[in-house]
Structure formats: C-alpha cells, structure tokens
Amino acid sequence: MKVRNSIKTLKNRDKDCKIVRRRGRLYVINKVKKRFKARQG
C-alpha cells in the first residue's frame, strides 16, 4: 500500500479504482487488481 499526499493521481491508474473514506482516511481500493491500494492521511 502506498501512502501518498495526492490520491487523485492514483485513482487514475485503473478504471476499477474506487475512493473509500474509512476512519477519517482516504483509501484507494481495487477489487479486480489488488495491487492498486493507497492511503491518504
């Protein structure tokens, strides 16, 4: 999982990426390609 200051660029990596807010943090998750994971905050 990458910890980044800009989540928007990571969302553009794949069309299945979704942004989810959990416990005040922003996560990029991808059910199809599991390696595209990221966290912000």
For 1-41, give the secondary structure using H, E and C.
CEECCCCHHHHCCCCCCEEEEECCEEEEECCCCCCCCEEEC
pLDDT for position 21: 95
pLDDT for position 30: 93
What burial class does residue 9 get, using C-beta atoms within 10 Å of its C-beta: 0-12 exposed, 13-18 middle, 19+ buried? exposed
pLDDT, tens digit, 9 for 90 and up, residues 1-41: 889 888 889 888 899 999 999 999 999 999 999 999 999 98
- Both tokens of 38, joined, read 């990221």
pTM for this entry: 0.80
Q: Please state the separation of Cα 10 from the chain's center in Å.
A: 6
pLDDT for position 1: 86
Domain boundaries of the chain, sorted by first residue? 2-40
